Structure 1
Amino acid sequence: MNKLRAVDFFCSGGGMSCGMQEAGIQIVAGIDFDKNCKQTYEANIGKGKFIHEDVCKLKEEQIEEKLSLKKDDDNLILIGCSPCQYWSIINTDKKKSKKSKNLLKEFRRFVEYFNPGYVVVENVPGVLRREKESGLKSFIKWLKKNGYHTHCEIHEVSNYGVPQHRKRFTLIANRITEKELAPIPVIGRKLNVDDVIGKKNGFPEVQQGHKDGTDFMHTVAGLRKINLDRLALTPKNGGTRLAYVDNEELAPPCHKGKKDGFKDVYGRMWWDRPAPTITTKFFSLSNGRFGHPEEDRAISLREGAVLQSFPRDYKFKTTSIAETARMIGNAVPPKYAEAIAKSIIENHKNAIQNQSESS
């Protein structure tokens, strides 16, 4: 009767659902308008748990009936990790993502209708910096007015068992107790790149352009000769474009002779540090510090996935490198989701115990 259950809105390939499930929370369903996520989600979270719907068009009564949800259910968690490109500080064209800017407001409809025991929202820090425009400010006000104790902060996920630097905004709202819940950090040192990839961790040395047809997907994008030549000059373990910035043939025109500014592009990761933020373009050297620390290539799809803290056996049912990378890069890191889940589970157990002792 006290089993925590969650519905994951904007679930994509299942990063949040995976972490919640690993912690022991039952995933009732994941909802997403992108039908390409269905196979991946169901291969890892459970058959029949993916609902292909546009949340903007979905009615509260529809999922109430379809999922047999109840209003005012103390054991219910509603999760809303809407696409974050519009609120990202990364300088990209916002026209394509503009239609997703009001998804938090759409998610709020379901929270108001079901009044669940717990609410979780995860997004880029920009959603907090623009809290009025995003609808976050009024949502938090509604939550507090309706009895929810609300945690609302930006967290660095490397403190929660993710071998990667990544800042994420997180809201956890709880109406079961008067406690403000926060993700539970991992005690001890942070995980670094060499804790999860490399030959000692089961990643054989491969060349650029390597195709892995197995579920392990140790697949690597191909490189032009000029990029191979650049990597050959880039020092192992953290080297940057400064190694060839004065080379007339190899330095990109925009970098030629420039030794200041952004140095991560074409750079290598460090073995002994967490990875940089794994974006949707992590397979490409020209989009960040995504060079392998030692081998002359960008990191593989599976390497990107484990740096996002996906389990090594997580199956990505996709049709291209770009599609797989987008699913991985957009995901909530599962270990971070697990840290959120553990906080909720601990709170719920304490609430049940207190009820039992008082009765």
Structure 2
Amino acid sequence: MSNKFIAVELFSGGGGLAVGLRNAKFSVAAAVELAPHAAATFAANHKGVRVFQQDVRTVGGKSLKKVAGGKIDLLAACPPCQGFSSLTSKYAREDERNDLVLEVGRLAAEMKPAAIMMENVPGLAHRGKKLLDQLVRKLKSIGYIVNWDVLQVADFGVPQLRRRFVLLAGLGFEIKLPKPTHARVPIGKLKPYRTVRDAIGHLDGAITFTEAKDRGGAARFNWHVVRTLSPENVIRLKLAKPGAQGQELPEHVRPSCHQNGYKGFSNVYGRLSWDQPSATITAGCTTLSKGRFGHPKEQRTISLREAALLQTFPANYKFDTEHMERACEIVGNALPCLFAEVIARQCRLAIAKQTKSAPRQKPRARVSRAKAGKALAERIGAAGRTSKTNRPAKKRAR
């Protein structure tokens, strides 16, 4: 039997989760991802993994289990979260992708992996509570013990403030959520939060995406590229203080829609601070109007590569697209690799403990053919002698 821990991914994105799984000593056998640029990026960085570029609703558990060799230790899933996100909470319409959360339960029932890990935005526990309850009931009905909570990724060494919903389930056994290793104010064995400086302090001199295209493409510059700022945003960035909210800018330089007592998004048109974790990295990570994505010192936003490092992607991770927008989506939608590793390791340890404690049948002793034949002959001979002994005596004729 193989000693490898085998994982299958759903909604795999560009492979950030797979980096964490690999670092936690899982071998990823298959991944399901619909978006072409994300699927191509996954394949470019994770050779040997079978990528199903299709809607997860069209994938059967039998197909995934076959690719995995018939045994799946971990089913890892990151369903689309936009419908539950606080960024979309002001919109009343339902996102048609919300029901995809239930596909985790369907495929779990079809494949029966030893463990399940699923992540999403915190809103799943509130806006998506009906779907979450339905999923948990499904998992419990087929034998899983379920734990879930909302965790802060900065508490586990990620240089970014980002709260994530995490669900862990073991088939007949419990998988406990991990305990924090870092804190804003460390006490005891806890380490201080990792900062923007820790992650990107060694980088400088990004070029614009337009210039990179003219000089061979963004990949040639390891995606250390930024968007061209408008004249208005140049002024705003000059006035922005590191770590401050956009609302602290003088009102006359803010967009007109952000004036006169604006109460909306406050985390825009701002700069990151060197000595704090970054704001949450999103698909708008290189756009000043979509978050606090200004560089702590330079007159630019953070680059795509810097955003990836704040998401704890490897420094040489490839992005298989020619489009800035698609690359930003891959980075911003990813589960931070280090956080994925922490959660996956928690699963692996629980699986290993369960496997070790499971009762084992004693193997039957092997008997050579010669010995087996001799034993059979002896039994036949014994049976013959017994039958003669027990045969009634013949009566003598008188």
TM-score (norm 2): 0.80
CA distance in 1, matches of 2:234, 2:129: 46
- Which has the larger displacement, 27-36 or 254-263? 254-263
Is 1:180 the equivalent of 2:180? no
CA distance in 1, matches of 2:93, 2:59: 21
CA distance in 2, matches of 1:86, 1:120: 20
Cα distance, 1:131–1:254 mapped onto 2, change above 3 Å: closer
Q: Which residue of 2 aligns with 1:304?
A: 307
Q: Which residue of 2 aligns with 1:84?
A: 81
Q: Percent identity?
A: 31
Cα distance, 1:358–1:184 mapped onto 2, change above 3 Å: farther
Gap runs ≥5 in structure 1: none
Match of 2:225 among 204, 208, 219: 219
Q: Which residue of 2 aligns with 1:171?
A: 167
Give the Å deviation of 1:17. 1.1
- Are the counterparts in 2 of residues 183 and 341 from structure 1 also a CA contact under 8 Å? no
Cα distance, 1:221–1:97 mapped onto 2, change above 3 Å: farther
CA distance in 1, matches of 2:273, 2:26: 35
- Are the counterparts in 2 of residues 183 and 342 from structure 1 also a CA contact under 8 Å? no
- Are the counterparts in 2 of residues 10 and 31 from structure 1 also a CA contact under 8 Å? yes
Matches for 1:127-138 after TM superposition, within 5 Å: 127-134=124-131, 136-138=132-134
Gap runs ≥5 in structure 2: 182-189, 213-217, 363-398
Residue type of the alignment partner of 1:84: C
Residue type of the alignment partner of 1:34: A
Q: Which residue of 1 aligns with 2:250?
A: 245
Q: Runs (4+) of structure 1 moved beyond 4 Å?
A: 92-97, 207-210, 257-262, 355-359
- Which has the larger displacement, 289-298 or 167-176? 167-176
CA distance in 2, matches of 1:61, 1:353: 27
Give the Å deviation of 1:252. 1.6
Residue type of the alignment partner of 2:231: K
Q: Which residue of 1 aligns with 2:153?
A: 157
Residue type of the alignment partner of 2:222: F
Residue type of the alignment partner of 2:314: P
Q: Which residue of 2 aligns with 1:320?
A: 323
- Are the counterparts in 2 of residues 6 and 29 from structure 1 also a CA contact under 8 Å? yes
**Count of equivalent residues:** 347
- Are the counterparts in 2 of residues 85 and 97 from structure 1 also a CA contact under 8 Å? no
CA distance in 2, matches of 1:300, 1:207: 9
CA distance in 1, matches of 2:171, 2:49: 30
- Are the counterparts in 2 of residues 207 and 297 from structure 1 also a CA contact under 8 Å? no
CA distance in 2, matches of 1:168, 1:195: 22
Is 1:34 the equivalent of 2:35? yes
CA distance in 1, matches of 2:103, 2:83: 16
Q: Which residue of 1 aligns with 2:380?
A: none
CA distance in 2, matches of 1:54, 1:95: 25
SS at match of 2:88: coil
CA distance in 2, matches of 1:97, 1:262: 21
Give the Å deviation of 1:213. 4.0
Q: Which residue of 1 aligns with 2:215?
A: none
Is 1:228 the equivalent of 2:237? no
CA distance in 1, matches of 2:263, 2:129: 36
- Are the counterparts in 2 of residues 245 and 256 from structure 1 also a CA contact under 8 Å? no
Give deviations 1:9-41, integer Å, cap 9, x for gaps. 111101111101111100001111222223211
SS at match of 1:82: coil
Q: Which residue of 1 aligns with 2:205?
A: 205
Matches for 1:88-167 after TM superposition, within 5 Å: 88-91=85-88, 98-134=95-131, 136-167=132-163
Match of 2:344 among 341, 347, 356: 341
Q: Which residue of 1 aligns with 2:280?
A: 277
Residue type of the alignment partner of 2:33: D
Q: Which residue of 1 aligns with 2:354?
A: 351
- Are the counterparts in 2 of residues 40 and 318 from structure 1 also a CA contact under 8 Å? yes
Cα distance, 1:3–1:97 mapped onto 2, change above 3 Å: farther
CA distance in 2, matches of 1:282, 1:294: 17
Cα distance, 1:166–1:355 mapped onto 2, change above 3 Å: same
CA distance in 1, matches of 2:156, 2:299: 30
Residue type of the alignment partner of 1:185: P
Give the Å deviation of 1:51. 1.4
Higher helix share: 2
- Are the counterparts in 1 of residues 246 and 269 from structure 2 also a CA contact under 8 Å? yes
CA distance in 2, matches of 1:43, 1:291: 30
Q: Which residue of 2 aligns with 1:4?
A: 5
The CA RMSD over aligned residues, in Å, is: 2.6
- Are the counterparts in 1 of residues 62 and 111 from structure 2 also a CA contact under 8 Å? no
- Are the counterparts in 1 of residues 206 and 303 from structure 2 also a CA contact under 8 Å? no
Residue type of the alignment partner of 1:153: D
- Which has the larger displacement, 266-275 or 34-43? 34-43
Structure number with bigger Rg: 2
CA distance in 2, matches of 1:87, 1:8: 21
Give the Å deviation of 1:185. 3.4
Give the Å deviation of 1:92. 7.0
